[in-house]
Amino acid sequence: MANVYDFKVKDRTGNEVSLSDYAGKVLLIVNTATGCGFTPHYEPLEAMYKDLKDKGFEILDFPCNQFANQAPGDEEEIHQFCTMKFGADFPQFAKLNVNGEEADPLFAYLATEKPFEGFGKGLKNAAFKKFTEMNNKTYGDKAYIKWNFTKFLVDREGKVLARFEPTVDMADVRKAVEDLLG
């Protein structure tokens, strides 16, 4: 695959969507969960989306239940939660796997383009790394994504420029998006 535009995914109602539909836009692709300690990331994500969507920015939300079963609902339940609790208005896609033999090819590609480099410094992040390693050990070399709310920044040509682990401050994510938008 040359870039993210070569992939097709399912929207939350099961219809196939080509990511080429987003050509020319800056994308933030995120694997999410409704019952995670990072679920409050929806709030700054939605604020960023509202502020920047008219400048050619899109957030693509992919729920995933592979991390401690933190996204147990079906697509409609997840959508209702996100819209009612956080006002999320950005595109939400079908629940998928991001790790293992059944990992969605999009996330395998994203993680290959921008591999995991750590959660940052400090005891809290070291403890989180140990916890995620235990959760993901069954995926072996196909543990592409370490936890919920991993974010990938994609430029207008479909090239993956950056990976933000869930421990990265959302203000830093926003700054990277704004810098890319110009």
List, for residues 114-129, the tens digit of each pLDDT value.
999 989 888 878 888 8
Q: Please determine, for residue 135, whether its predicted confidence score (pLDDT) is greater than 90.
A: no
For residue range 25-43, what is the model confidence (pLDDT) as tens digits?
A: 999 999 999 888 888 999 9
Identify the residue whose tokens are 């079963």: 69
Domain covering 4-181: architecture? 3-Layer(aba) Sandwich (3.40)
Decide: helix, strand or coil at residue 16: strand
Per-position DSSP letters for 104-125, written without gaps between them:
-HHHHHHHHHS----S-SSHHH
Q: Which of 4, 36, 96, 106 is catalytic?
A: 36
Q: Which residue has the higher pLDDT, 162 or 126?
A: 162
As a whole-number percent, the residues of the chain with pLDDT over 70 amount to: 99
- What is the mean pLDDT of the segment spanning 48-70? 95
- Is position 36 annotated as part of the catalytic site? yes
Q: In the structure encoding, which two tokens stand for residue 97, read together?
A: 């796997």
Specify the pTM.
0.93
Arithmetic mean of pLDDT over the chain: 93
Rounded to 10 degrees, the C-alpha dihedral 79/80/83/89 comes to 40
| Beta strands at 26-32 and 57-63: parallel, antiparallel or unpaired | parallel
